[in-house]
Amino acid sequence: MDAPTKPVASPTAALRSAVVVNPVKVPDLPQLRRTITATLTAAGWPKPMWLETTVDDPGSGQASQAVRDGAELVFACGGDGTVMACVTALAGTDVALAVLPAGTGNLLAANLGLTGDLATGLEVVLQGGRRRIDVGAVGEQSFAVMAGMGFDAHMLDATNDTAKKHIGWLAYAAGAARHLRDRPMRVRVTLDDRPSFACRPRTVIVGNVGRLSGGMRLLADARPDDGLLDVAVLSPRTLRHWLALGWGVIRRKETVSNMKTFTATRVEINSKRIQPRQLDGDLIEAGKQLLITVRPKALLLCVPQPATDPDLAHDAAATDRQADEIRAAVDASASAS
């Protein structure tokens, strides 16, 4: 495919870029490469470097290599694991991260208001919205959205990959149903230097921004750059409790039944027994402890305009409409080739 015949206007300076892509998540890798390269070329940008993830390295090594090779912006194209690996590599640098979701249930993409539409993701980059956001750190790994211990990680583990491919984030409902009646955890939670407290929740979620896959906003007050982690302790016991909790979240009630929220810069969760754990929708090794600290404004992220809105997805719908020019140019070139 040749470059689009009609140049796509870009208000930003041309940047050296790299694409870190998970080839397993992309149904047509050559088409993806042609589309990204053609769009950037039409906007006056250099051709991007192209780095594929592997089983042994889901993206951190590739993103780090891109930085060493002079990239000023890295596209993360894949699922939650690919994006989190790039977040880990780019946090603390001045290299921007752009998300091009290719997997299902991509949490950071959901918080940016992005679907799997490639043109919208490229439009976000070319419009030039940039935002420094906090990240959470667990050991050597960093995450941009949420970490969790308990039910949420059980749900991820029980969700069928085939179902995710066919029905998207709705597949998580089946995984959740398998664990609705699990017994609660016995944990002790410590927030900063405050006295620890014991509780019996179904899950503890620690977030930097608030949306789950599908767009539901669990942490209504979470802000991406306030230097704080938002903590949700969910303690439903019955199906009725779960329904009441879900209804309260959907209605954005100030007080949600069976959910307590806190803020902190350091969160330590200790369990009586080994529990499943997740970072940004990607399972990590199960354990008895989850220790999370915040890295304030560590990540430079490409976001829809206006870049200063507390909600990262504030005007994503407008960006989607403005991406029609990219879609038309790519379609025209595809028809001509």
Condensed to tens digits (0 to 9), the pLDDT of residues 232-260 reads 999 998 889 988 888 888 888 888 999 99
The pLDDT score that the predictor gives to residue 1 is 38
| Residue 269: closest CA among 286, 235, 293, 292 | 292
Strand intervals (E) in the chain: 17-21, 49-52, 73-78, 96-101, 130-138, 141-143, 146-150, 187-191, 197-199, 203-207, 229-234, 259-264, 266-279, 282-302
> What pLDDT, on the 0 to 100 scale, is given for residue 172?
56
pLDDT tens per residue, range 263-300: 999 999 999 999 999 999 889 999 999 999 999 999 99
Which pLDDT value is given to residue 235?
94
CA distance 151 to 234: 9
**Which pair of structure tokens corresponds to residue 121?**
């993701």
Does the pLDDT value for residue 7 go beyond 60? no
Q: Structure pTM?
A: 0.87
Distance between CA atoms of residues 162 and 172, nearest Å: 11
> Which pLDDT score, from 0 to 100, does residue 148 have?
95
Nearby residues of 247 by Cβ (< 8 Å), 6 or more positions away: none
The confidence band for 262, taking pLDDT boundaries of 50, 70 and 90, is very high
The bridge status of strand 73-78 relative to strand 17-21 is: parallel
Report which of residues 332 and 54 the model is more confident about.
Answer: 54
CA distance 254 to 179: 27
Helix pair 80-90, 60-68: axis angle to 10 deg: 40
What is the largest distance, in Å, between two alpha-carbon atoms of the chain? 67
Q: Which residue has the higher pLDDT, 135 or 313?
A: 135
β-partners of residue 229 are: 264
**pLDDT over 60 at 209, yes or no:** yes
pLDDT digits (tens, 9 = 90+) for 150-167: 988 888 776 656 655 554
Q: State residue 233's pLDDT score.
A: 97
Q: What is the pLDDT of residue 178?
A: 67
